[in-house]
Amino acid sequence: MSEAELDKKYKKAAEIIIKAGTLPFVVSETFIKILKIYLDEEDVDFIYQNFKLKKSLSHDELKKKSKLSDDEIDRIINKLAKKGFIFNQPSSKGIMVYRLMPIVVIGSFEYTYMKKLPEDQNELQKLKELAQLYHQLMLELRDNVQKGYENLLPIFEKLPEIDRTVSALKKENGEPINIVIDKTIEAEEQVLPAQSVEEIIKKFDDIAVGNCFCRNYQKLLGHNCELNAPMEVCFTFGKSARYTIQQGFMRRVSKDEALQILQKAEEAGLIHKAFHNASDIHQDENSICNCCKDCCDIFNLWRLGATGLWNSTNYISMFDQEKCIGCGECVKRCPIDIIELNENNKAQRVQEYCIGCGLCARFCPEDAIYLKQGLRRVYVPPPKVL
């Protein structure tokens, strides 16, 4: 087969993989280069032939469509699962389902950098080169979004929440943050999702932990975390945990160990981001990221102008101007830079963009910030940078 014919196969597979995700990538030379690092000809043929119409197939559907034996299906599926392209776990009814995953959010990118970085310098260099390709891909995404900025904004505004910010509920000294209940908003909600990461962890028997893929990725790009945050702080639960453990992306932990890891994340001042099944905050959580302001790709892609922020939160920060001394700690901590000191040297923030992470309240030395409780959706458009 000629190189041109092989490239056509990769392009066809790329189109299908892009449609499995939410980010508006295009089939570029960079995207194809990344796929060629992960996928061989058998892989791209399998993806194109079986997932071009549906991104999820039961075992029986795949067998009928592919005309392969059970052994052959298992061999190829397991190979793609190890690469982070296929999620292969049984449904709640016990039916084996194979779901094609996107390359980013959540797919091969996250699973590649979730593992501990290798000590072997040749393997490390390969990961660095791959990280540069991913970085180039994000710049291309930024360029495309900025080029179609005015047309994309109305579409972005209607997109569902990608994650839910679970607020820090304790101050740096361990005392509880002051919380006021917004009864008007609260009355509209019948069942609230778990309000602390501890609650979430205690719900699950299957828990896995892995390295922060954002911090590993940024390290390979030459950036060291400004918080020097702990690395092993990303959690998955339930069948997502079983999947990541089986593929070697993460390791199984007990509830007690998970809570100990969580405590270290809290002490480091990380932001808790929960992800839910079907992106529905009233369904079970499947993972929690503990994010820092400078490494997290959710925040970095937004700052880059490549994506918006789509978030659900149950809190909003409130400022007591009389107590504020203008120290600027909240300005430094805010992950989306919406807090500033006004002409009176008092902290203020853009209310509609507050994601309710609680870091400003957690680290305020004067107790000048409290949280108001009330479930809300937050959308922050990407900045216009080009």
Residue 385 within any structural domain of the chain = no
Specify the pLDDT at position 4. Answer: 82
Answer with the one of 150, 175, 205 that is the final residue of a domain: 150
> Do residues 94 and 128 both lie within one domain?
yes
> Do residues 80 and 135 both lie within one domain?
yes
Residue 85 within any structural domain of the chain = yes
> Do residues 272 and 374 both lie within one domain?
yes
H or E element that contains 274: strand 271-276
Which residues 6+ apart lie within 8 Å of 164 measured at CB? 193, 273, 274, 275, 276, 281, 311, 312, 313
> Do residues 216 and 311 both lie within one domain?
yes
Residue 10 within any structural domain of the chain = yes
> Do residues 222 and 258 both lie within one domain?
yes
Specify the pLDDT at position 337. Answer: 94
- Name the nearest CA neighbour of 14 among 4, 43, 58: 43
Residues 189, 195, 200: CA angle, nearest 5 degrees: 120
Residue 241 within any structural domain of the chain = yes
> Do residues 218 and 302 both lie within one domain?
yes
> Do residues 134 and 161 both lie within one domain?
no
Residue 359 within any structural domain of the chain = yes
Tokens of 6: 């092989």
What is the spatial distance between Cα 358 and Cα 269, in angstroms, rounded to a whole number?
A: 10
Residue 12 belongs to domain spanning: 3-150
Answer with the one of 150, 171, 192 that is the final residue of a domain: 150
Domain count, the chain: 2
The CATH number assigned to the domain holding 82 equals 1.10.10
> Do residues 141 and 202 both lie within one domain?
no
**pTM value?**
0.93
Cα atoms in the 13 Å half-sphere on the side-chain side of 117: 18
Whether 264 and 181 have beta carbons less than 8 Å apart is answered as no
Residue 125 within any structural domain of the chain = yes
Residue 281 within any structural domain of the chain = yes
pLDDT in tens, the chain (386 residues): 788 888 899 999 999 999 999 899 999 999 999 999 999 999 999 999 999 999 999 999 999 999 999 999 999 999 999 999 999 999 888 999 999 999 999 999 999 999 999 999 999 999 999 999 999 999 999 999 999 999 999 999 999 899 999 998 889 888 999 999 876 554 444 466 778 899 999 999 999 999 999 999 999 999 999 999 999 999 999 999 999 999 999 999 999 999 999 999 999 999 999 999 988 888 999 999 999 999 999 999 999 999 999 999 999 999 999 999 999 999 999 999 999 999 999 999 998 999 999 999 999 999 999 999 988 999 999 999 98
> Do residues 228 and 241 both lie within one domain?
yes
Answer with the one of 150, 184, 205 that is the final residue of a domain: 150
| Cα dihedral 172, 176, 180, 183 sign | positive
Residue 63 within any structural domain of the chain = yes
> Do residues 171 and 30 both lie within one domain?
no
Please state, in angstroms and as integers, the Cα–Cα distance from residue 158 to each residue in 76, 135, 149, 183, following that order. 37, 27, 15, 26
> Do residues 53 and 168 both lie within one domain?
no
Whether 381 and 308 have beta carbons less than 8 Å apart is answered as yes
> Do residues 159 and 114 both lie within one domain?
no
Q: Is 192 helix (H, G, I), strand (E, B) or coil?
A: coil
